[in-house]
Each structure stands twice: as C-alpha cells, then as structure tokens.
Amino acid sequence: MTDSSPATVTVYSDYVCPFCYLGRESLERYLETRDEALEIEWHPFDLRAGKRNPDGSIDSSVDDGKDDDYYAQAKANVERLSEQYDVEMHQPLATEVDSLSAQVVSYFIEEHYPYETWLAFDEAVFEALWEAGRDIGDPDVLVDLATDLEVPEAEIRAAIEDESLREDLEAQFRAAQEAGVRGVPTFVYGEHAARGAVPPAQLSRLIEGV
C-alpha cells in the first residue's frame, strides 16, 4: 500500500523575522511550479528569548550583539529582497514586536485544526505584521485573525493564557537549537538544509535535487 500523504518541507521560523516572511514568499513561488502537493512542517523559533521581560515586554537595551550597522544591513537586505520578490512591506524590521503569543496560538491551531486552517492562520499572521503593520503580540489582533478562520475567540484567549502550551512551545524552541538551527528561516528537506530567504530556484534544488 503506497503512502498518499503529501511530501513535507520543514521550516523553522519566527513571525517577527522579516526574512521568514520573505522566505515564505519565495516558497510560495516555488510551490506554484510544482505539480505535486508539498506541505509545511512548521517548527517555531524564538528570536526574542533573550530580550523578553517577565511581563512579556521587550527590553531593547539588552545587548544581543546586534548593533546599528547590523540593523542597517538587515534593513537594506530586506528592501532588496522585497523588491526581488515583488512584495510591498509596511516595514522592513519589527524590533519592538514579540511573537510569543502568536506562536502559541499557531501551535494550538496546528495541534487542533486541519492543516489548511493552520496554514491560513500562519499566512495571516505574517501578512498582518509585514503587510499591514499590525501588532501580532496583541491578543485582540490574534483573535481577529483566528476568528476569520472560524476558530472560536474563547479558544484563542484560553490558548494564550495556557502555561502548558507555552511550556510545549519552549521545548520546541530548545529542540530547534539542539538540532543545530542558529538562524531563521531554515528550510530542511531530508538530510539537506537551506538557511535564509533563498530564491525559489534554490528551494527547488533543495527539495528536488535539481
């Protein structure tokens, strides 16, 4: 009996990473060239872990080794890639936004709803932040995005406050680091990986070997 389930590509990402948004845009362009289905196996990654205060706010004064030159170069790279992939972005960087609650809700939906619902929510979070400039750390924004997909508000608010979900997510963050993931986006297919908002042709080589 043959396995009829779609092939999957593993994607490590964080919603506050502009290159993750751009990498997904590149993946969409690659998917448009495929005849066969390919699903995303999402693995969360926490870029704000070292700057998050106990109350959930972001402490921008924490030295994470990223200086003004780093951010200037990142901004330039985002602008170059957004032009290359023909996408309009509301902002090139979102250094004050935290994605932890968004990742909690995404994880909850992934665990309890069909793949198509999770994928639509995942895309909606990226679009809300990078195309509309909305604060995806705001529970009301997450409720708005989820209820558009017929996920009940009560479930979303409960998920945001669920400590066990946060613990599960933190375990996934640690697992990503233990797997050797040091930056996002990272695309993994079989034994091979590609890091960054790589072009569709590189994703084709990664997944198809050509």
**Residue 25 located in a structural domain:** yes
Average pLDDT over residues 178-195: 96
Average pLDDT over residues 171-198: 96
Q: pLDDT: is 146 or 58 the higher one?
A: 146
Does the pLDDT of residue 4 top 70, yes or no?
no
Q: For residue range 44-96, what is the model confidence (pLDDT) as tens digits?
A: 999 999 999 888 788 888 988 889 999 999 999 999 999 999 999 999 999 99
Q: Provide the domain count of the chain.
A: 1
Strands 38-44 and 192-195: unpaired
Provide the token pair at 186: 């990272």
Residue with tokens 């993946």: 27
CA angle 6, 7, 8 (to 5 degrees): 115
* CATH number for 51: 3.40.30.10
Cβ neighbors of 136 (< 8 A, separation 6 or more) are 15, 16, 97, 99, 101, 102, 125, 128, 129, 142
Strands 38-44 and 7-13: parallel
Cβ neighbors of 195 (< 8 A, separation 6 or more) are 183, 184, 185, 186, 187
Distances 168 to 3, 32, 107, 171, 173 between C-alpha atoms, Å: 29, 33, 9, 5, 9
The model's confidence at residue 1, banded by pLDDT at 50, 70 and 90, is very low
Query: What is the b/e burial string over 29-60, where b = at least 16 CB atoms within 10 angstroms of the residue's CB?
Result: ebbeeeeeeeebebbbbbbbeebbeeeeebee
**Residue 197 located in a structural domain:** yes
**Residue 195 located in a structural domain:** yes
**Residue 1 located in a structural domain:** no
**Residue 149 located in a structural domain:** yes
**Residue 2 located in a structural domain:** no
> For residue 50, what are the domain limits?
7-208
Residue with tokens 């930056």: 183
pLDDT attached to residue 61:
87
Residue with tokens 């797997």: 179
Provide the token pair at 51: 């700057």
Does the pLDDT of residue 3 top 80, yes or no?
no
